[in-house]
Chain A
Amino acid sequence: MADTSLRLLQKRMDSIIMGKERAVKMAVVTLLARGHLLIEDVPGVGKTTLAFTLAKAINCSFQRIQFTSDLLPSDIIGVSIYNPDTREFEFKPGPIFSNIVLADEINRTNPKTQSALLEAMNERRVSVERRTRTLPEPFMVIATQNPIEYHGTFPLPESQLDRFMMHIKLGYPAFDVEKQAIVQLSSFEAIESMPPVVSGEEIVRMQEEVDAVRIEEDLLGYLLSIITETRRDERIRLGVSTRGAQFLLKAARANAYYEGRDYVVPDDIKGPAPLVLAHRVILKSRTYISDAEKVIEDILARVSIPL
Chain B
Amino acid sequence: MPLIYRILTAILAFTGCIGLIITGQMNPVMAVAGLGLIPGYYRFMKGRAHASKWVIGGLSIAALFVFAFDAVIVTGDVFIAAAHLTIFFQAIKGFDLKEPWDHLQVYFVSLLQLVMASELTRSIYFGFVFVIFLIALVTAMVISHFMKEGTIKAIDIKRPVVIISTLTLVITVLFFVSEPRLRGGLFGKSLTKGIKTAGFSQKVDFGSFGEVKLDPTIVMRVELDGKAKRPFYWRGMTLDYFDGTSWMDTLGGKHIVLSRGGVFNFVPFNKDDVITQRVFLEPIDSSVIFGLNTIAGIKADVRALLIDNAGAVFTQGKGLRRITYTAYSILKEQPVEGSDSMYLQLPPHLERVKALAEDIVRRDKTDMQKSRHIEQYLRTNYRYSLSTSKPPKGMSPIEYFLFDSKKGYCEHYATSMVLMLRSIGIQARIVTGFIGGEENRFGGYVIIRQKDAHSWVEAVINGRWTTFDPTPSTAEEHPSIVFLYLDYLRLKWDRYIVGFTSADQWRIMKAISMPLAFAKTPGLPLPEIHMAYYVLVPLFLIVFFLFLRRFTVKRYAPITARYLRLRKIMRKHGVRVDASSSPFDIKREAERLGIDIADIIELYQKGRFGGGLDHKDNMRYMELIGKVRMLQSRRLK
Interface residues in B5-57 by Cβ distance below 8 A to A read none
A14–B376 Cα gap in the complex (Å)?
116
- Smallest CB-CB separation from B47: which chain A residue? A234
Are B582 and A267 in contact, CB atoms less than 8 angstroms apart? yes
Interface residues in A210-227 by Cβ distance below 8 A to B read 214-216, 219, 225
The reply on A304 being an interface residue by CB < 8 A is yes
Interface residues in A283-306 by Cβ distance below 8 A to B read 300-306
Are A266 and B154 in contact, CB atoms less than 8 angstroms apart? no
The reply on B168 being an interface residue by CB < 8 A is no
Query: Quick check: which of B267-275, B333-341, B605-613 contacts chain A, the rest being far away?
Result: B605-613
Are A219 and B609 in contact, CB atoms less than 8 angstroms apart? yes
Contacts of A304 on B, CB cut-off 8 Å?
150-154, 579-580
The reply on A264 being an interface residue by CB < 8 A is yes
> Do A307 and B584 contact each other (CB < 8 Å), given the known contacts A214-B611, A263-B609?
no
The reply on A231 being an interface residue by CB < 8 A is no
Are B611 and A306 in contact, CB atoms less than 8 angstroms apart? no
A305–B151 Cα gap in the complex (Å)?
8
Are B580 and A265 in contact, CB atoms less than 8 angstroms apart? no
Instruction: Decide if the interface of chain B is mainly helix, strand, loop or mixed.
Output: loop
> Do A307 and B556 contact each other (CB < 8 Å), given the known contacts A266-B583, A300-B580, A302-B580?
yes
A264–B585 Cα gap in the complex (Å)?
16
Are B579 and A305 in contact, CB atoms less than 8 angstroms apart? yes
The reply on A261 being an interface residue by CB < 8 A is yes
Instruction: Encode contact with B along A264-280: 1 for CB under 8 Å, 0 otherwise.
Output: 11110011000000000
Query: Which among B151, B581, B609 is the interface contact of A216 at CB below 8 angstroms?
Result: B609
Instruction: Encode contact with A along B462-477: 1 for CB under 8 Å, 0 otherwise.
Output: 0000000000000000
Are A307 and B150 in contact, CB atoms less than 8 angstroms apart? yes
Are A263 and B582 in contact, CB atoms less than 8 angstroms apart? no
A29–B430 Cα gap in the complex (Å)?
102
- Smallest CB-CB separation from B564: which chain A residue? A307
Contacts of A261 on B, CB cut-off 8 Å?
605-606, 610
The reply on B241 being an interface residue by CB < 8 A is no
- Smallest CB-CB separation from B604: which chain A residue? A265
Contacts of A209 on B, CB cut-off 8 Å?
none
The reply on B560 being an interface residue by CB < 8 A is yes
- Smallest CB-CB separation from A261: which chain B residue? B610
Are A263 and B580 in contact, CB atoms less than 8 angstroms apart? no
A264–B606 Cα gap in the complex (Å)?
9
The reply on B563 being an interface residue by CB < 8 A is yes
Shortest beta-carbon distance, B614 to chain A, in Å? 14
Query: Which among A214, A225, A265, A303 is the interface contact of B605 at CB below 8 angstroms?
Result: A265
- Smallest CB-CB separation from B587: which chain A residue? A267
Are A306 and B154 in contact, CB atoms less than 8 angstroms apart? yes
> Do A307 and B151 contact each other (CB < 8 Å), given the known contacts A219-B609, A263-B606, A264-B609?
yes
Shortest beta-carbon distance, B558 to chain A, in Å? 12
The reply on A262 being an interface residue by CB < 8 A is yes
Contacts of A307 on B, CB cut-off 8 Å?
150-151, 154, 556, 560, 563-564, 608
Contacts of B584 on A, CB cut-off 8 Å?
265-267, 270-271
Contacts of A214 on B, CB cut-off 8 Å?
610-611
- B: interface residue count bin: 20 to 34
Shortest beta-carbon distance, B399 to chain A, in Å? 79
A302–B153 Cα gap in the complex (Å)?
11
Instruction: Encode contact with B along A56-70: 1 for CB under 8 Å, 0 otherwise.
Output: 000000000000000
Instruction: Encode contact with A along B583-612: 1 for CB under 8 Å, 0 otherwise.
Output: 111000000000000000000011011110
- Smallest CB-CB separation from A270: which chain B residue? B582
Instruction: Encode contact with B along A28-50: 1 for CB under 8 Å, 0 otherwise.
Output: 00000000000000000000000
A229–B583 Cα gap in the complex (Å)?
21
Contacts of B154 on A, CB cut-off 8 Å?
304, 306-307
A302–B580 Cα gap in the complex (Å)?
6
Contacts of A271 on B, CB cut-off 8 Å?
584
Contacts of A303 on B, CB cut-off 8 Å?
580
A301–B610 Cα gap in the complex (Å)?
24
Are A305 and B610 in contact, CB atoms less than 8 angstroms apart? no
A304–B1 Cα gap in the complex (Å)?
11
Contacts of B608 on A, CB cut-off 8 Å?
216, 307
Query: Which among A215, A225, A265 is the interface contact of B583 at CB below 8 angstroms?
Result: A265
- Smallest CB-CB separation from A264: which chain B residue? B609
Which of B153, B584, B605, B609 has the most C-beta atoms of chain A within 10 angstroms of its own C-beta? B609
Contacts of B563 on A, CB cut-off 8 Å?
307
A304–B146 Cα gap in the complex (Å)?
11
Query: Which among B556, B582, B606, B611 is the interface contact of A305 at CB below 8 angstroms?
Result: B582
Which of A216, A225, A307 has the most C-beta atoms of chain B within 10 angstroms of its own C-beta? A307
Interface residues in B306-347 by Cβ distance below 8 A to A read none
A254–B611 Cα gap in the complex (Å)?
18
A219–B610 Cα gap in the complex (Å)?
11
Which of A216, A300, A302, A305 has the most C-beta atoms of chain B within 10 angstroms of its own C-beta? A305
Contacts of B585 on A, CB cut-off 8 Å?
267, 270
- Smallest CB-CB separation from B153: which chain A residue? A304
A261–B581 Cα gap in the complex (Å)?
20
Given contact pairs A265-B582, A307-B556, enumerate 20 new A-B contacts (beta carbons under 8 Å). Answer: A214-B611, A215-B609, A216-B608, A216-B609, A261-B605, A261-B610, A262-B610, A263-B609, A263-B610, A266-B582, A266-B583, A267-B584, A270-B582, A271-B584, A304-B152, A304-B154, A304-B579, A305-B580, A307-B150, A307-B564
5 tightest Cβ-Cβ pairs between the two chains A and B: A304-B579, A263-B610, A267-B584, A265-B605, A266-B582
| Chain B interfacial positions (CB closer than 8 Å to A) | 150-154, 556, 560, 563-564, 579-585, 605-606, 608-611
Q: List 25 A-B contacts (CB under 8 A).
A: A214-B611, A216-B609, A219-B609, A225-B153, A261-B606, A262-B610, A263-B605, A263-B606, A264-B609, A265-B584, A265-B609, A266-B583, A266-B609, A271-B584, A300-B580, A301-B580, A303-B580, A304-B150, A304-B153, A304-B579, A304-B580, A305-B582, A306-B154, A307-B151, A307-B154
